[in-house]
Amino acid sequence: MNTRDASASPWPPCAEKAAVTTRPVTLVQLVPPGPGGVRDFASLLQERWLESGRHSALLALNPAEAATQPWQHQPGPWAVLLHYSGYGYQARGVPWALLQWLRRLRKDKGDELRLVSYFHESFASGPPWGSAFWLSGLQSRIGRHVAQASDAVCTNTQAHAAWLASGPGLPGAEPLYVQPVFAAVDEPLHPPGSWAERKPTAVVLGAASTRARVLQACADKAALLHSHGIESLVEVGPGPSAVPAGGAGLPLHFQGRLEKLELHALLRTCRAGLIDYPASLLAKSSVFAALAAHGVPVLNTRPFDENADGLQVNHHYLGLPAAPGSAARWLSDPVEWHAVAQAAAHWYAPHGSRQQAAQLLALLQPRSTVEAGLSGNPPPLLSAIPQEET
């Protein structure tokens, strides 16, 4: 079994293969219905494209009604970025209707369509008494078929990329493009605040379920956090507070959903950010991305599994619970906190929203067009892994 070299990734050959025509391209992003991190990610992409003069549509896709989407009836060519999350399109994570529509679309539009699928998730897993255990195989199969129906495939972790690459029949000779998520709350306009500006507060961000995991874990670690200078928590996110019935172990101030600039101001003044996330999947956490982009030291309450995607525990973030003796070494010295935040910020910098917006725009260029808004020579910043050849 042969694999292509993953040490360097030539940019996808869209521009080289394009025929000479100046027809305008209909640029569309498709997201699952409803609010959430995937839509926030797509919304910031749309903003970035508009900043560069490229108009696009951002549409919620209900697979059962996909055929009625009006963009399909506009003249081609079409450039479509599908944001894939199985549970976003079907309650059990098995969106057969989406796959069937994509196949029809692929057949109807032919070379006029450039379909790029961005996999935000892979498939679920869980104990035998949960539906995810029984449906994970089907979820995986549908995801791979969606990838097969695409012209190019992107994802956010090496773990997801390895799963996609292990399936046969992926798009042509193009590699899988892998890039950690950017901060959907946007990057800060100003440098991170100094240590003197930061209050003895840790921020808890995200959806209600994300915050609930962190706050539950904090209840057992409150004494450790307090002994290292964290005196209170600030909870930020949509819906009601996710604090458990027994409290979070430290005084908590719930601020609800903040506007972008309000959140940026808050992150300048927090001493730390708390997450509860598998270390091996941190590259797909929009909360981790936001904290890294804003120079906030990250404390992860989830037990460590493995380093991945260029991130290392106790270098780019701090692991809690820590090994005996390591907590005091890492948490007692503000210089070390600052070093951790700086390392995460440096890790984040090459794949911020502006860089990825340019990369994805180039990747979306239909083969049948050379059009000013989609052409150019962007830097090859997306990394790639080889696909297995059968």
- In this predicted model, what pLDDT tens digit does every residue of 327-374 receive, in sequence order? 544 555 666 888 999 999 999 999 999 999 999 999 998 655 434 334
In-domain check, residue 205: yes
Specify whether 27 is located in the same domain as 158.
Answer: yes
Q: Which domain holds residue 289?
A: 195-349
Domain count, the chain: 2
Task: Tell me, yes or no, whether 260 and 317 share the same domain.
Answer: yes
- The predicted pLDDT at position 384 comes to 42
Whether residues 213 and 314 share a domain: the answer is yes
Q: Is there a domain that residue 324 lies in?
A: yes
pLDDT in tens, 247-303: 889 999 999 999 999 999 999 999 999 999 999 999 999 999 999 999 999 999 999
CA triplet 187, 161, 7: central angle to 5 degrees? 85
Q: Which residue has the higher pLDDT, 310 or 218?
A: 310
The label of the residue with tokens 């057992």 reads 220
Distance CA 390, CA 387 (A): 9
Would you state the pLDDT for residue 310? 96
- Give me the percent of the chain exceeding a pLDDT of 90: 55
Residues 163 and 25 grouped into a single domain: yes
Radius of gyration of the chain (CA): 22
Residues 6+ apart with CB under 8 A from 203: 233, 234, 235, 236, 266, 267, 270, 272, 273, 274, 291, 296
Q: Does residue 201 register a pLDDT over 80?
A: yes
Distance of CA 286 to the CA centre of its chain: 6
Whether 364 and 343 share a structural domain: no
Phi then psi for residue 195, to 5 deg, are: -60, -35
Residues 241 and 140 in one domain: no
- 224 and 292 both lie in a single domain: yes
Is 313:284 a contact under the CB 8 Å cutoff? Answer: no
Residue 323 has pLDDT above 60, yes or no: no
pLDDT interval class at 2 (50, 70, 90)? very low
Residues 280 and 360 in one domain: no
Q: What pTM was computed for the model?
A: 0.85
Domain co-membership, 36 together with 175? yes
337 and 271 in contact (C-beta within 8 Å)?
A: yes
